[in-house]
Amino acid sequence: MNVEETRLPGIGTRREITVANGRRVGVIQFRDGEMNLLVSQQEDPDCSLAEIPLTTEEAAALGSMLGAPQLVQHLSNQQGGLAGLSTEQIVLPRESPYASQDLGATRLRTRTGVSIVALVRGTNVIPSPGPETDLLAGDVVVVVGTPRGIKSAAQILHEG
């Protein structure tokens, strides 16, 4: 994938990709740390259709939404042979009782038999998180287990 990087003197840096239908999609990184999501117009790809300011938290959430499915796909491919196991991503909602607690507090393995193979936080992936790893609202929890186990794990993460 070809990421085009353009410096905007006095403003910051623009990184973008041209997607299959000809539009440019990218991010303007301002020098003071702010960030804009940018999508170009269809009829005039030179011109922005929208420039949406994102807070760090929002950008991180968007990043994990876009990045996690890929990780899940990768994991499913790897364990493809094992019948009866599947990989799923569960987003930890803000109102979850486990937000800002450590992973051990969920006792997910004991209660459902599923394992947490990774946490996706923004653009960071935390592989094989230990019980002492903190969970934050908005984290994408990648789990491997039986469909039934995954279903109850999702319920636990959402409601406790």
Contact 78, 55 (CB under 8 A): no
The one among 3, 6, 101, 148 contacting another protein by CB under 8 A: 6
User: Is 17 an interacting residue with respect to another protein (CB under 8 A)?
Assistant: no
Q: Is 44 in the site for another protein (CB under 8 A)?
A: yes
Residue 35 interacts with another protein (CB under 8 A): yes or no: no
Which residue lies nearer to another protein by CB, 45 or 113? 45
Cβ–Cβ under 8 Å, residues 57 and 64: no
Residue 21 contacts another protein per CB under 8 A: no
Size of the site for another protein (CB under 8 A): 27
Answer yes or no whether residue 4 interacts with another protein by CB under 8 A: yes
User: Nearest 10 degrees: CA dihedral of 47, 58, 95, 143?
Assistant: 100
Minimum Å gap between C-beta 27 and another protein is 9
In the chain, the amino acid numbered 46 is D
Cβ contact 50:69 at 8 Å: no
Under the binding rule (CB under 8 A), the answer on residue 20 touching another protein is no
CA angle 72, 39, 54 (to 5 degrees): 70
Q: Which is nearer to another protein, 48 or 133 (CB)?
A: 48
Return the residue of 3, 17, 19, 50 that touches another protein, per CB under 8 A: 50
What's the sign of the alpha-carbon dihedral 124, 23, 34, 94?
A: negative
CA distance 136 to 65: 15
Helix, strand, coil percentages in the chain from 3-state DSSP, rounded to 5 = 30, 35, 35
Q: Which residues bind another protein (CB under 8 A)?
A: 4, 6-11, 14, 16, 18, 22, 24, 26, 28, 31-32, 36, 38, 40, 43-48, 50-51
